[in-house]
Chains A and B, each alone.
Chain A
Amino acid sequence: DIQMTQSPSSISVSLGDRFTITCRASQDIGNYLSWYQQKPEKSPKLMIYRATNLEDGVPSRFSGSRSGSDYSLTINSLESEDTGIYFCLQHKQYPRTFGGGTKLELK
């Protein structure tokens, strides 16, 4: 199985800060990587697909990038509504695998 190693596992960030989450893939997944935000008691919400594409309706302060096997989700100028848990998902190979999650809190 492809392991998606996500870091950090949790972080406290101040409003207006820039923040980056990273997922490292244990094998080549091309750009078959998406990012999700999950609020408590809610379903995950797609934020970025195919590594770098912003899902419709997602604020432009969110962006995705790739450097080799490292995939990053960056939030520019954090807002209070951005708190939650973020996951990555690879869908290059079976079984599909998720990163372990990053809990983003306000400082």
Chain B
Amino acid sequence: QVQLQQSGAELVKPGSSVKISCKASGYTFTSYDMHWIKQQPGNGLEWIGWIYPGNGNTKYNQKFNGKATLTADKSSSTAYMQLSSLTSEDSAVYFCARFNYGGLAYWGQGTLVTVSS
């Protein structure tokens, strides 16, 4: 069965960077886009972008250009998202997710990033 296992919660300082991971299993990692979504406490969901691990192609929400960098390691079936120049506005839960047919059918459990000095 498809599983997406994300890395654990992070407490990071303002101005720093953080890299969170999403390890995929149960399917051919290189054949599907991996999407990343942001959810701030009490707020809705924002789509950050996707990466196609097969060739490394990416597509970003312009709002996250310069903030998020998506990469993937085919050898470990793991997708990564690095967030840079962190501020309190980046404190959120971040999800990785994969489409199946016409919807995001598979989700990681979420990674809480807290930006605080």
Contact = CB atoms under 8 A, between A and B. Distances in A.
Contacts, number: 63
Nearest to B62: A95
B22 to A, nearest CB: 12
Contacts of B100: 46
B46 interface: yes
Interface residues of A, number: 25
A44 B47 contact: no
B104 A100 contact: no
Interface stretch (B9-17, B66-74, B107-115): B107-115
Contacts of B44: 87, 98-101
B61 A44 contact: no
Given A43-B95, A43-B109, A98 B45 contact: yes
Contacts of B62: 95
A91 B105 CA distance: 13
Most chain B CB atoms below 10 A, which of A32, A94, A95: A95
A71 interface: no
A44 B107 contact: yes
A44 B101 CA distance: 17
B102 interface: yes
Nearest to A97: B47
Interface of B: 35, 44-47, 49, 59, 61-63, 95, 97, 99-105, 107-110
Given A89-B47, A94-B59, 8 more contacts: A35-B103, A44-B104, A48-B103, A49-B102, A87-B44, A95-B61, A96-B47, A98-B44
